[in-house]
Each structure stands twice: as C-alpha cells, then as structure tokens.
C-alpha cells in the first residue's frame, strides 16, 4: 500500500495531493499540467515537497513533521519514464542489470533476468545498444530494467506518450501483463482516457494540483460531476464482460455481461477471457420500443435511473441494464419528446462499430 | 661555353640540395632535447590539470552559487590576457619568494621556478580554459534525467557520476585534453617569462625556435623544429578526431 499526502508550491499552482494506492494499477489521470508528474517525482524522491508524508507498506519515505527524507537511491521505486531514459553507453543487458549492481545482496536474485526477458520479448536485443532500438523496444527494456531492480512500487510516467499507435498497443499489452503478474502497486500517469480505462483498477483524478476524486474505474467513470474532467465527449460507462464467442466469419465477438450481450468487432481476446469495454455516452441512443429492421446490433433492455440535466442542449441519461450502469448522452429535446423519467423501461442502442479496438482491454 | 659549364653547375646544385636535405634531417642533440622536453611538459600539464579541470567544469556546469560568473571569468583570463602577464603573475605567486612558491617548497619540497615543472604549470594554466570549456560543454549536454533514472535504480551519487556521467562526457574530456596538450606544445610567452629559457630544463620547442632565430646560422634548425611542431600538432588533432569519432559511435549505439 502506497500512501501519499503532500503539499508543495509549483510554478503555476499549489500541489495538494492525498491518495492511497493498493495492489494493482492506480492511474493518476488529468490534463497535462495537472501536477501528475510532480506527484510521481515526489514518490520517486526526485522532487522534495514542502510538507507531507509518503509511505510505502508502512516504511516512511518522506515525513516533513519528523524530518524524514529517504533519498531516491534508497527508495526502491521502479521508474519508467516517457522517453525510456536508457543509458546510451551500455548494452541492453547492462541496462537491464543496472539496478542489480546496487541492490542489497539478499535481494539480488529475487527477479530473474530470463523471466523478465521472456515476459517482455527482448531476448534478441540483449547485446545491442539503445541507440538503435525502436521506441517500443526501448520502452520494453525500460520496463525490464525497472522490474529487475526489485522495486516495491512501479511508477510509469506516460510511458506511451512518445510512441505511435501500433507501438502503443504493443506496450499496453505488456503493461497489462505487468499489472496481472507483479504483486506491487503500480502508479500509472496518463492523460489518455483510453489507456486509463483499459489498464486501471483505480483512478486518481487530478486537476490543477488537487485530487478531484479517487475510486474504482467504473465508479469514477459514471460520476457525473467528474465528467468535465474526464473528457465530455469521451466519458461513458465501463462494462466488465466475458468473451462468450468469437465469430471469425463476421469478425464480431459476443461479450456477455449481466445486462445482456454485446457484439463488438476486432476484440483481441480468447473465448472465456474477461475484458473491459468502454462505451462512450455519446455512442448510446435510447428507444422506448425495441426497434425492428435496424442496423444497430446491440439493443439492451434497461431502466432509467437518473437524468443529469445541465446547461446546454444535451443531457446524460443513466440507465441500468441488469446490474450494469450505462450512460447515454442525448439532446435535451429528445429527452423531452420521449418524456424520459427515472423508472421508465427503455432500450439502449449501441452501434457495434462505435466501439473500437482501443476501447477494449483485458480486465 | 655556357653549355659546357652546365653539368658542373647542376652537380653543384644537387650537391647543395642533398646537403640541405641531410641538414634538414640532422637533428642536433639540443633540438631533440627540446622536442622531448616539450612533449614531457605538455603531457604533464595535461594530466596534472585534468582533475582540477574536471572539478572546475563540474562546479561551473552544475553549481549554483554567488560569484559563479567571477570564477568563470578567472578561469578564462589566461585566454585573453597577454601570456607574458600570466607568466609574470605565476612568477610572483610561484617564484621562490612568492607566497605559494615558498609554501610549496617548504612544505612539500615542490619547486616550480626555473624548472621544467614550472613550464608544465605555465602550460597547464594557459591550457586550462580550453580544458574546462570542453568538459563543461559536454557536461551541460548530458541528459540529467539519465542521472535521475540511475538514482531511481538504486545508484548513489558517486556511482551515478562514475557509471553514467563520466562515460557520457568522455568525448568532451578527450577533446579538452587534446586542446590542452596542443596549446602546451605551442606555449611560449608565459613559459619564458616564468621559467626562462634554460637548455635542457625549460627550453621547449617554441623557445628553442625563438633562440635559433636569434642566433646567426640558426635558421635551418629553426625550420627543422618548425616542421616537427607542425607534425606534432597535426598528429594530436588527428588522434583526437579519431578518438572522438569512435567514442561518438559507441554512444550513438552502432
């Protein structure tokens, strides 16, 4: 368990951050300039907050009241930065083993080089120097290097930001494996909702140096007051589902969840696997009757829970399908024309093609 | 008539040509001495000033303190002052009766005045700005985030410096050393002012050339040493270029 409670003065605003991160992946989410990197740097010991306390599994890394300050090299934080930051004069192997030179002797063998090399698929790169590696390869080596230092927490500061789309999905896959394999807290900094929804167990939402909310992904995504910060057009519900079938001929996967079945194209998961699907609110329509002769493949029966009226021409309708919350963003005029109100049984319509590959991740 | 004299004239000419060539290659013991002394002085000036140069470059590149630009100015002074002034200041400070000279003599038995060590000191001071500048530039080019990454991997500061920073600035260090060495080979004004021009002790190539040009019939010797000087400087620069390129390749990952 990682506990962070810090106050610091930055150039543009004051940083006042308080959150806990348990096992699994906690995303620090916010726009650029929200103070995410400063928080990570404070955890790593690269930034010294004016006041506050940071503790990892009960061992205190920073406590300004008790004048405790553990320097970076004794914190055992595994950092993975945006640019990789591999040592250009060392080979990949030497980069990977860098942390081991400084680890206490008894911890040296905990993480096995071969295991990490296998996990990340970098066996063929070992004798090369970083200068010739692609962006994705560099990031994989950087992840391996952090793991081999036997950290007690992993910090990933926008590890995908400098990669192109194919490399992004390549590294996302490894981060997912990491999340499921390692038993330490992972703090993942990002300003991309796609990444966060796909990877995170919990979200810490930051804005201008403050925490606006923390909680599990599904809960956070459905909190209306956070919608402006999570991206008005990107917001929506997150559905945890199981792959029931993969139809190779049509390219559609059937995903079962407690509210029914979703048909979605291009799901890279095997039958039986758990996935997490983000359904953007603007991609959900509402009908009072089950439509016939329509191209929309996903029609889910549900009940309206709440209408979130706000200024402007549109509003959010929260509805429940089985035990799962869905959000539909429609015009206020449509809501009035259909006389939508809480308790009304409706049908949620979701175009299959509106849910792209980036919206689906392993749960 | 005229034609019959031609072979003889030509023979005379070629004889004198041979003699000149052989004269060109016949180094006197004093000249060889001067070249060897120059190389020794330049070498020790370079090696001796390296730790101080590295430290000064670190302070200038990384330090934040009051009076930094003053230190920067002092380091660069030998570059802009007349070398005679530098030599005279060294004489005042490190001469037998100078405050530092007396202290070093009485405490450690180190004497600079009118010794080859003094010539090395003068060369070190003259080459110091070039050395510091080259190292400082390469230090400023080091991505400090690499050092942070090394720290996060558990390396304390001294190890970060030795394992990460030092290898990354090696091209700069090499460049600085070569510049300092080459500057020492050419150093004249400060050396002759500080330690005079004593054959076998402080008569470097440069002062030997100067002496020969002031001596009747010394022009051939002066020319010989001039050619040697050019060759040495050229070799030093070529070697530096080669080394820098090889190190650069290593860093870029080829």
* Cβ atoms B252, A88 nearer than 8 A: yes
Phi, psi values for residue A185, rounded to 5°: -65, 140
The secondary structure element, H or E, covering residue B172 is helix B166-186
CATH architecture of A2-230: 3-Layer(aba) Sandwich (3.40)
| pLDDT recorded at residue A331 | 92
Residue in the block written with tokens 């024309």: A337
Helix axes A113-120, A135-148, angle to 10 degrees: 150
CB–CB contact B254 A78 (8 Å): no
Taking residues B135-146, what's their average pLDDT?
A: 92
Alpha-carbon distance A4 to A44, whole Å?
A: 12
For chain A, residues with pLDDT lower than 50 are none
Label residue B121 by pLDDT band (50, 70, 90): very high
Query: Do A87 and B164 make contact, defined as CB atoms within 8 angstroms?
Result: yes
Task: Name the pLDDT band for B3 (thresholds 50, 70, 90).
Answer: very low
Structural domain boundaries enclosing B141: 37-252
The CATH number that applies at residue B68 is: 1.10.3720.10
- Across the interface, of A77, A85, A101, the residue whose CB is closest to B145 is A85
So what's the pLDDT on residue B253? 53
Question: How many of the other CB atoms lie within 10 Å of CB of A191?
Answer: 18
Q: Which sequence spans correspond to the domains of chain A?
A: 2-230, 236-362
Residue B7 lies in a domain: no
Given this model, what pLDDT does residue B15 score? 57
With bands split at pLDDT 50, 70 and 90, how would you rate the model's confidence at B191? very high
Beta-carbon separation of B250 and A129 below 8 A: yes
Q: What is the mean pLDDT of residues B101-117?
A: 88
CB contact under 8 A, B154 and A128: no
Q: Which residues of A touch B156 (CB under 8 A)?
A: 71, 73, 102
Q: How many structural domains is chain B composed of? A: 1
Task: Express each pLDDT in B19-62 by its tens digit.
Answer: 555 556 677 888 889 999 999 999 999 999 999 999 999 999 99
- A15 neighbors A52 (Cβ within 8 angstroms): no
CB contact under 8 A, B251 and A102: no
Any domain includes B19? no
Q: How many CB pairs under 8 A join A and B?
A: 81
The pLDDT assigned to A218 comes to 79
| Pick among B141, B145, B149, B253 to test the A interface (most A CBs inside 10 A) | B149
pLDDT at B69 over 50: yes
DSSP summary character for residue A111: S
**Residues in A lying within 8 Å of B, measured between beta carbons:** 44-46, 71-79, 81, 83, 85, 87-89, 98-99, 101-103, 128-133, 145-146, 149
Q: Which of B148, B149, B168 sits opposite A89 (nearest CB)?
A: B168
Segment B90-110 mean pLDDT: 88
CA dist., res. B145 & res. A24, Å (int): 27
The pLDDT of residue A233 is: 63
Average pLDDT, chain B: 86
The pLDDT value recorded for residue B135 is: 95
Q: Alpha-carbon dihedral of residues B216, B220, B222, B223, nearest 10 degrees?
A: 150
SS3 at position B113: coil
CATH of domain A236-362: 2.40.50.100
Report yes or no on whether pTM surpasses 0.80.
no
Residue B243: the pLDDT is: 83
Residue A307 to residues A286, A287, A311, A314, B149: CA-CA distances in angstroms? Answer: 13, 15, 13, 11, 49
**Average pLDDT in the B202-225 region?**
90
Q: Do residues A229 and A317 lie in contact, with contact meaning Cβ atoms separated by under 8 Å?
A: no
Residues of chain B found within 8 Å of residue A78, distances taken between Cβ atoms? 152
Q: Considering the domain boundaries, does residue B227 fall inside one? A: yes
Alpha-helical segments (H) within chain A: 36-44, 92-102, 113-120, 135-148, 165-181, 193-199, 217-221, 227-230, 332-337
């Amino acid at each position: 368990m990682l506990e962070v409670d810090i106050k610091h003065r930055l150039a543009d605003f004051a940083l006042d951050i308080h959150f806990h991160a348990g096992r699994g992946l906690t995303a620090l989410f916010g726009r650029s300039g929200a103070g995410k990197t400063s928080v990570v740097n404070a955890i790593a010991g690269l930034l010294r907050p004016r006041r506050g306390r940071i503790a990892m599994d009960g061992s205190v890394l920073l406590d300004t009241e008790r004048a405790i300050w553990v320097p970076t090299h004794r914190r055992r934080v595994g950092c993975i930065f945006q640019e990789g930051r591999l040592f250009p004069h060392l080979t990949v192997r030497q980069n990977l083993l860098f942390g081991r030179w400084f680890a206490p002797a008894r911890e040296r063998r905990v993480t096995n080089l071969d295991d990490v090399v296998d996990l990340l698929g970098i066996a063929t790169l070992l004798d090369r120097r970083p200068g010739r590696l692609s962006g994705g390869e560099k990031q994989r080596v950087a992840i391996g290097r952090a793991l081999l230092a036997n950290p007690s927490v992993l910090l990933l500061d926008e590890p995908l930001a400098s990669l192109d789309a194919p490399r992004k999905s390549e590294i996302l896959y490894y981060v997912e494996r990491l999340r499921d394999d390692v038993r330490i807290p992972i703090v993942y900094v990002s300003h991309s909702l796609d990444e966060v929804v796909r990877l995170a167990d919990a979200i810490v939402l930051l804005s201008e140096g403050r925490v606006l909310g923390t909680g599990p992904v599904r809960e956070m995504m459905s909190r209306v007051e956070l919608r402006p910060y999570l991206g008005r057009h990107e917001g929506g519900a997150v559905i945890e589902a199981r792959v029931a079938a993969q139809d190779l001929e049509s390219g559609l996967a059937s995903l079962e969840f407690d509210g029914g079945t979703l048909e979605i194209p291009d799901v890279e998961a095997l039958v039986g696997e758990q996935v997490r699907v983000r359904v953007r609110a603007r991609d959900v329509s509402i009908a009072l009757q089950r439509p016939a002769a329509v191209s929309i493949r996903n029609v889910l029966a549900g009940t309206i829970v709440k209408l979130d009226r706000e200024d402007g021409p549109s509003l959010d309708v929260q509805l429940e399908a089985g035990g799962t919350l869905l959000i539909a963003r429609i015009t206020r005029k449509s809501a009035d024309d259909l006389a939508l109100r809480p308790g009304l049984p409706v049908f949620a319509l979701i175009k299959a093609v509106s849910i792209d590959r980036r919206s689906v991740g392993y749960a | 008539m005229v034609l019959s004299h031609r072979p003889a004239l030509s023979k005379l000419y070629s004889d004198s040509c041979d003699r000149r060539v052989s004269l060109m290659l016949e180094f006197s013991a004093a000249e060889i001495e001067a070249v060897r002394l120059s190389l020794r002085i330049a070498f020790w000036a370079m090696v001796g000033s390296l730790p101080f140069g590295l430290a000064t470059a670190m302070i200038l590149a990384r330090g934040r303190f009051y009076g930094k630009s003053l230190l920067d100015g002092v380091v660069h002074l030998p570059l802009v002052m007349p070398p005679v002034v530098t030599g005279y200041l060294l004489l005042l400070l490190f001469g037998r009766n100078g405050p530092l000279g007396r202290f070093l003599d009485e405490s450690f038995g180190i004497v600079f005045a009118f010794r080859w060590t003094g010539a090395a000191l003068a060369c070190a001071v003259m080459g110091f700005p070039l050395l510091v500048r080259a190292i400082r530039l390469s230090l400023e080019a080091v991505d400090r985030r690499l050092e942070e990454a090394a720290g996060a991997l558990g390396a304390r500061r001294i190890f970060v410096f030795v394992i990460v920073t030092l290898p990354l600035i090696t091209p700069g260090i090499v460049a600085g050393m070569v510049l300092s060495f080459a500057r020492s080979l050419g150093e004249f004004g400060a050396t002759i002012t500080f330690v005079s021009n004593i054959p076998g002790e402080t008569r470097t190539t440069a002062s030997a050339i100067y002496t020969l040009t002031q001596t009747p019939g010394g022009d051939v010797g002066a020319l010989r040493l001039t050619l040697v000087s050019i060759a040495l400087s050229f070799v030093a620069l070529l070697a530096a270029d080669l080394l820098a390129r090889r190190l650069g390749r290593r860093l870029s990952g080829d």
